[in-house]
Amino acid sequence: MAAQNKAESGSEEMPAATPTDPSAEQKERLIAAVKKEVKQLMEEAVTRKFVHEESGGVTALCGAVESCLGQGLRRRALGLFKTSSTTALLHKIAKHCPEAALVSARVLAAEGAPATRSASGVERRPSAPRPPLCKRGSGSLLSQAPPTSRYLWIRIALFERQLAKIIEHLVNNANRYYERDALVADPDYGSILSSLLVGPCALEYSKAKAPACFWTDPPADELVQRHRMSAGTTTPPSVRRPILNFKRSLNASSDDGSAISTGTGKAAGSSAKDYVESLHQNSTATLLYGKNNVRVQPKDVEEPMPGYLSLHQTAAGLVIKWTPNQLMNGYAESEGIDKSVYWAMSLQVCVWEVVYVHVHRSQASDALILVGQDGVQRPPIHFPKGGHLLSFLSNLETGLLPHGQLDPPLWSQRGTGKVFGRGRARRRPMPSLCESGETEEPEWEETAGDYVFRIVNNAIADREAMRHSLLERAVQSPPRTPRRPLASTSTTSSDSSTMSVDCPPSAGLNGHPPLTPIPHQPVEQAASIELVCSTMRRQIISRAFYGWLAYCRHLSTVRTHLSGLVHPNIVPAGGAEGGLTEERWLAMTDESGAIHDKDEVYRLVYYGGVQHDIRRHVWPYLLGYYEFGSTAEQRVEQDMACRRQYETTMSEWLCVEAIVRQRDREATAASIARLTEASGKLKPSDNNDASEVFEDDCSVISDNPPIVSPEPSENEQKRPDKPVLSRAPSIDEVDNIEMDSERDKETKQNGETDNSDNKELDVDSLKDFDDDDVHLKSVVENPDMRRESIAEIKRLAEGIVQKGDGRGLLCSVDSAHVNGSDFRSSIDENQPSPVQQHTSVIITNPSVDLAASGSPVSGGTTATVSPARSPLGVVREESQSAGASFDTLEPADRHAPDTRSNCVSPASSNGGVYSNELVESFALNLHRIEKDVQRCDRNYPFFTDENLDKLRNIMCTYVWEHLEIGYMQGMCDLAAPLLVMMREEASAHALFNSLMKRATDNFPSGQAMDAHFADMRSLIQILDCELYELMHAHGDYTHFYFCYRWFLLDFKRELLYQDVFAAWELIWAARHVSSEHMVLFLALALLETYRDVILANTMDFTDIIKFFNEMAERHDASAVLSLARELVLQVQTLIENK
Amino acid sequence: MSSRKKVLLKVIILGDSGVGKTSLMNQFVNKKFSNQYKATIGADFLTKEVIVDDRIVTMQIWDTAGQERFQSLGVAFYRGADCCVLVFDVTAPNTFKSLESWRDEFLIQASPRDPDNFPFVILGNKVDLDNRAVSAKRAQQWCQSKNDIPYFETSAKEAVNVELAFQTIARNALAQETEAELYNEFPDQIKLNANDNGRNRDGDNCAC
């Protein structure tokens, strides 16, 4: 029993150290092992929420507990000899301890059905360090233990959650079962042991083979956490790579798949499933030979590991594969991370690349070593005794036919099948003299011996033979038997190295009749050795040369691709790590308030960021808004001018906004009216109707011709001077017209009004109101109110224009805005009956206007006092009063005519006849802006309604100035941190303007994004080719779409606000210090921070998107930033060195 | 292993900005509604396992940016989609009107094998709001005219019809079915040595 053995070996060690000291040290060690395992298991439970029953952690813990229990056990006294002593102990205490009785019964049941516990579960996770005890116990002993019974009772007790109680029982009754100096009998250690196990006993254990929640989507957090655990205490992977990760697999000469995977993620790159499938007999490859438990010692592993060896015949030729057992059958309990270790170990050797097959036969096992064309040895393959090696070779020989063969061929022996050619057994050194061959040893199989076979490809050999026939003669090649005529078509690739290896004519090429050993002469031997040596020399030199050449080419690529990305001169960090503090800033400011040393500022910011308190003052410089060297006065002036400009622009678009609002309101009213009507009436609505409504809506929004209604009305005469009117006034008159003309046809149905569209101007827009009016009880009030409200807006607007004050305008916009949003709330109140609802829809419009008219009036006059009110806030305030205001304000006096005349002024005074297209395009942008502003960083306390309104103004102003660009999603995110920092609209806008000079190009209309992706590709390819290969292999995400948001928003969504500030400062400062494209290096740093997680989990395109989306705002920003700086430096040095 | 092959259904959610794509996705996957969602930039996806006709399928639901300007990115994400969900806001007629162009754009970019029968599902979202502007009838009629696309009126906020809609989406996508096993699965694994626990074992225990 392994456990027993181990435990005993533990106790055997003990006496040496403990005759005097009662094994305190040993106990400490045992208990530490338990502690460690408990800790690991609990960690596993935390990350995964449950623990798999067959997890390595469980086994390890059980092992540790077993050793504790086994130590100092009074075996003799208790009569526990044969079986696992602790199991016997369990059965013994079952009489006294109910928990033990329960577990004991289970154990008996489980032993009765031995198949219950699958063997695969007992493997240890390779990445988890083995407990020290297991290390001490010899591996072979451990492995021989039948897994079914290993720690069985401890396992069951653990799963049944009884283990802690059983141990407690043992501890309490230790004197009966244990020696006095045993761990369990120790008052301290005993209780520690039982209390340690309380935790694991409380865990959930799962038997599920592949729990869906685990396999499908391990969340990003878990991946990172798991990686940290498995990585142990190592620090973040920032400095673990050399400056230029130029790796070239030694064997990757001709074919990617042909090489032994050299510990990189390449093997892992091919999907595990495909790999295992490829081991089967399938359409592309014939399985010639398969043997399990063939041992190979991969790199970095201490002893050979068993695995499955297979020989496949593919179209290209023979392939030998070896796969560790862990990959073959241990899939259930292992994890992705652990697997990768094994993937790296698996072997794949293409036979056509192998030249020599060395066989070393010893008493222990038969080893087979493949030597490639390049002279590199593959790891030895150890076959179990019993003729397996021979059968492998005979299969290999068969597989090589018809185009190739083993040289010398295997000896065919009647009855026993093939044997090793007797005469070919060679002693080292390798090309030794042949033996006479007549000593026929019957037990040759038992004797140790070395054999060398050459794999001959006839196709190549033929060609080579032709080419080198002269040479051969020159070196006195022995007389050869004539070659068999062979197919001259070569299926295998042959390069120069193949030829040179094949050319030595020492070994007979082919065509020897089997069973005949070649008689070699000494002269020929010497010549051949010479030739082999010269060939090797040549190869070594050429390899070195090609390596150097490739490296040079590589570097030149680096230079051409990357020299544009960084500045050639490296600015040293010396003393700048502290960043730009307030003291330094003040020290740099001269008496006129000017800052001159811009290089120093940039350098400080680049290496250390800006102290938060002075960010507000520094940012304008960093963004290039303030000039370095400008005096305080100049800057104040600049600010003033900027604000004036800002306010002027704002007043412009606010006018347009008012128009847009009005249109919106009508459009909404129209569609709602339409909708309610459709539902309320028995109108036979059909397809046409549906689309018609659409068109109607459109017409309301856009098709309204901005012309003056020729309809004679009192108001009309007062504005003969304006040829084009904004939409708002036209409604007024429409209403008036309607009052007179439409009231009489109240009872008519809607179809008729539709028809009248052509006759009456503006009727299309009226129509909806017509319909509504039909149902209105209080039609009379309606137009008046509406007129008043519009007049109100205009009056306000005018007042503002006169004052030149942006604030006032805001208020008027508020009032306009209320209209749109408020009727919603009044609908709520009036919801119950359709008729009522219908009415309310119509009435609300004016009613809110009225309600709003109260405050905006004062707002207009005392514009400076009233703060810019957010639409949202207004909605909240006004919605409560909406219902009431309707009644109270109903008898509003009709002073419309007077105010009406003023209404033209805002538009005209701003030069403002706005074309329909302009209004429309602004309307479109406005709606988008509002949608996005409302949901911009709502979780961040700064963004109250008031500040959101500022953000909206910044956006609108920018878009108004850049209508050709328009609003694009993401602009809000870029402006938000600026506003947070500057607090003030005008300056935030100015900074945003500067920021957008660079950022505009990132948006879909620009080209920068594609350039970023391309640069990222080159950078990764050069700085981390391992990662690049993974990205390339897995759904090829070298298009880097997962970085899209990073670049578009300058990492604003990836980092927390505080970190965004720092990251942005770095980006801005870097332009002048090290790189115009700091974003690239930040992205690279982010990627590199998690490269191990990405590689370990062989993430594909979707995995990586998900990973980074989940990791948003959880990065360690300062580490990322410094890694980014480091990467810049790497590239700079790389280019500098040439 | 009961079901060897897992079915992965790729579902793309499209629609104008602010119609509630992210909210719908999160309501379905996480059963949560938040008014804190930001405008989606780039693309994100969530996965959820659902049972369709006694089969466990994994839905991979892709949430995209709403502004049509970002559609050029779509091609990377649309490819291999099994179903496309078009969302509009019942309170905003314009979002309904753009359904047509979303649909066309998707068919161009994703270029499914059989565009005429590619499964779409239309969701009219925000029915919890009162200022409704697109009638169910109108939406229904449009859907009928487009090869009978299934139409659901949903509210991501109040979880109205969300589950039902996504069940339909899963079913229609499954009909379209492109099987994609998760690579962690090992179908038909070779288990040559069931008793061997992977440790060194010498001797002639060849199981071949």
Those residues whose C-beta lies under 8 Å from the C-beta of residue A180, and which sit 6 or more positions away, are A22
* Alpha helix (H) residue ranges in A632-683: 632-680
Tell me which of 2.60.220.30, 3.40.50.300, 2.60.40.10, 3.40.50.410 is the CATH number of domain B7-186.
3.40.50.300
Q: Flag whether residue B35 sits within 8 Å of chain A, measured between CB atoms.
A: yes
Task: Mutate one of A826, A969, A1099 to test the B interface: name it (highest B CB count within 10 A).
Answer: A969
Contact call for A388 and B184, based on CB within 8 A: no
Low-confidence residues of chain A, pLDDT below 70?
1-22, 47-50, 54-55, 77-84, 112-150, 206-218, 229-278, 280-283, 329-340, 411-448, 458-523, 558, 679-912, 1138
pLDDT score at A276? 65
Q: Are A1057 and A940 in contact (CB under 8 A)?
A: yes
Contact call for A277 and B187, based on CB within 8 A: yes
Those residues whose C-beta lies under 8 Å from the C-beta of residue A544, and which sit 6 or more positions away, are none
Contact call for A690 and B130, based on CB within 8 A: no
Contact call for B190 and A276, based on CB within 8 A: yes
A-B contacts at Cβ under 8 angstroms? 222
Q: Flag whether residue A1007 sits within 8 Å of chain B, measured between CB atoms.
A: no
Contact call for B196 and A293, based on CB within 8 A: yes
pLDDT tens sequence across A700-741: 333 333 333 344 444 434 444 433 333 333 334 434 444 444
Q: Which of A1029, A1027, A1032 is nearest to A1084 (CA)?
A: A1027
pLDDT tens sequence across A663-714: 988 888 888 787 777 766 544 444 444 444 444 443 333 333 333 334 444 4
Measured between beta carbons, the chain B residues lying within 8 angstroms of A291 are 206, 208
d(C-alpha A1025, C-alpha A390), whole Å = 41
d(C-alpha A857, C-alpha A835), whole Å = 33
- Name the residue of chain B whose CA is nearest to A943's CA: B36
- Containing H/E element for A358? strand A354-361
* Alpha helix (H) residue ranges in A833-984: 834-861, 871-888, 896-902, 905-909, 916-934, 945-961, 971-982
d(C-alpha A660, C-alpha A926), whole Å = 9
Q: Nearest by CB to B93, from A304, A694, A936: name it.
A: A694
Q: In this structure, what DSSP letter does residue A483 have?
A: P
Q: How far is B194 from chain A (nearest CA, A)?
A: 7
DSSP string, A558-616: HHHHHTTTS-SSPPP-TT-TT-B-HHHHHHHB-TTS-B--HHHHHHHHHHH-B-GGGHH
pLDDT per residue, tens digit, chain B (208 aa), is: 444 456 889 999 999 999 999 999 999 999 999 988 899 998 889 999 998 888 888 999 999 888 888 887 777 788 889 999 999 999 999 999 999 999 999 998 888 888 888 999 999 999 999 989 899 999 999 999 998 999 999 999 999 999 999 999 999 998 876 443 333 344 444 444 444 444 444 444 444 4
- Name the residue of chain A whose CA is nearest to B8's CA: A216
Contact call for B41 and A1039, based on CB within 8 A: no
Q: Flag whether residue B2 sits within 8 Å of chain A, measured between CB atoms.
A: no
Task: Mutate one of A140, A292, A388, A681 to test the B interface: name it (highest B CB count within 10 A).
Answer: A292
Q: Nearest by CB to B187, from A273, A303, A969: name it.
A: A273
Domain boundaries, chain B: 7-186
d(C-alpha A243, C-alpha A551), whole Å = 13
- Name the residue of chain A whose CA is nearest to B185's CA: A273
Task: List the beta strands (DSSP E) in A89-207.
Answer: 205-206
Q: Are A521 and A505 in contact (CB under 8 A)?
A: no
Q: Are A690 and A845 in contact (CB under 8 A)?
A: no
Q: Which of A60, A67, A53 is nearest to A5 (CA)?
A: A67
Measured between beta carbons, the chain B residues lying within 8 angstroms of A673 are none
pLDDT score at A695? 41
Cβ-based burial of B36 (10 A; exposed 0-12, middle 13-18, buried ≥19): exposed
Q: Flag whether residue A76 sits within 8 Å of chain B, measured between CB atoms.
A: no
Contact call for A697 and B93, based on CB within 8 A: yes
Paired tokens of B196: 């061997």
d(C-alpha B181, C-alpha A271), whole Å = 11
Q: How far is B141 from chain A (nearest CA, A)?
A: 6
Q: How many Cα atoms sit within 13 Å of B200 on the Cβ side?
A: 17
Task: Mutate one of B189, B195, B204 to test the A interface: name it (highest A CB count within 10 A).
Answer: B189
Q: Flag whether residue A256 sits within 8 Å of chain B, measured between CB atoms.
A: no
pLDDT score at B32? 92
Q: Flag whether residue A672 sits within 8 Å of chain B, measured between CB atoms.
A: yes
Q: In this structure, what DSSP letter does residue A1043 have?
A: G
Q: Flag whether residue B3 sits within 8 Å of chain A, measured between CB atoms.
A: no
pLDDT score at B145? 93
Paired tokens of A416: 């026993």
pLDDT score at A925? 93
Q: Flag whether residue B183 sits within 8 Å of chain A, measured between CB atoms.
A: yes
Measured between beta carbons, the chain A residues lying within 8 angstroms of B126 are none
Contact call for A675 and B1, based on CB within 8 A: no
Q: Which of B6, B7, B20 is nearest to B171 (CA)?
A: B7
Contact call for B130 and A329, based on CB within 8 A: no
d(C-alpha B49, C-alpha B29), whole Å = 9
Q: Could you tell me how many residues make up chain B? A: 208
Cα-trace Rg, chain A? 43
Q: Flag whether residue B101 sits within 8 Å of chain A, measured between CB atoms.
A: no
Q: Flag whether residue B189 sits within 8 Å of chain A, measured between CB atoms.
A: yes
Paired tokens of A846: 């004016």
Please, which residues bridge with residue B13 across strands?
Answer: B63, B85
Paired tokens of B110: 């994703």
Paired tokens of A204: 């959930």
